[in-house]
Amino acid sequence: MATAAAMVGVLAPAAAADPLPGGLGPCLGSSCPPSWNDPNNGPVVGYDENINIYVGGDFLVREAAAEAEGKIVTLGRFDMDKRDGASAIYNVGVAGVGSRVPPPDGSDYLSVGGDITIAAGERLLAEEGANSGRVAYAGSLSGTVNPLTAPREDPEAVAPFTGLRPELTEASRCYAYEGDAHRATTGSWTRVGDTFTFTGDGTSAIQVFDVDTDLESATGGNAGFTFNGIPDGATV
């Protein structure tokens, strides 16, 4: 992913931390599950109407990227061109292994403010089993999207979401700075294999971690995240 990307749903704590702009955060709608399981490949257990991934620029699918769960909004283009030998598909909305709480069926799984370009021989999937959604785009479409009913050309595909970018930028600065001074870190982190562990101080209302590396495994692959020492109601 490119500029100004925000994961706004996956890591949201159950307690009432300071809200993100635009109502972003935990599950939204009448079909949210009563509890959340660890990532799994079991049956779908509910539906989430909220945005889970927000990209202020372009969304680029590269290397062996496999899937992105939940509702996705990218203000720029969506470009998929994976490396040779990798799986030729990329899932949006519903993931094979995840929370198993996709957007509602028939809703926009992916909203794109520019063009969608899928490399030859590759496919963008907005479906799994009985669950499927739409792919809305304001520009042009080149390549294969499944199901065939998913693509939906719409010049206003991301119009409801453009105001979130400056709002998220302002909120992010508020979390990281106090006036013009960088907030002091309140915790530490380690990476062991494919797991990042973030350990807070157990008391601060804003938990600050400075990370000076890519959020990937030690070998450049997928990574998991664990949080400890985060008090109820704190903002990370």
Q: What does pTM read for this prediction?
A: 0.85
What pLDDT, on the 0 to 100 scale, is given for residue 207? 95
Mean pLDDT score across all residues of the chain: 91
What is residue 37's predicted lDDT score, i.e. its pLDDT?
A: 85
Q: Taking residues 155-174, what's their average pLDDT?
A: 95
CB 164 within 8 A of CB 22: yes
pLDDT digits (tens, 9 = 90+) for 90-107: 999 999 999 999 999 999
Structure tokens at 165: 């970018």
Could you say which DSSP state residue 176 is in?
H
Q: Is 191 left (phi over 0), alpha (psi -120 to 50) or beta?
A: beta
How far, in Å, CA of 101 to CA of 169, rounded?
27
Per residue in 178-213, pLDDT tens? 999 999 999 999 999 999 999 999 999 999 999 999
Residues 166-184 pLDDT 10s: 999 999 899 899 999 999 9
Cis amide bond preceding 166, omega within 30: no
pLDDT value at residue 22 = 85
In this prediction, residue 11 carries a pLDDT of 42
Q: What's the CA gap between 171 and 20, in Å, rounded?
A: 7
pLDDT greater than 80 at residue 7: no
Task: Please give the Cα distance from 50 to 24 (Å, whole number).
Answer: 7
Position 1 scores a pLDDT of 37
Region 66-78 average pLDDT = 98
More confident residue, 224 or 9: 224
- Give one DSSP letter per residue of 13-61, joined into a string: -SS--PPPGGG-SS--STT--SS-PSSB-S-------SEEEEESS-EEE
Q: Which whole-number Å values give the CA distances from 31 to 44, 47, 101, 105, 126, in the listed order?
A: 11, 5, 9, 11, 19
CA distances from 231 to 17, 31, 66, 202, 234 (A): 10, 28, 33, 5, 6
pLDDT tens-digit series, residues 16-66: 455 688 888 889 999 999 988 888 999 999 999 999 999 999 999 999 999
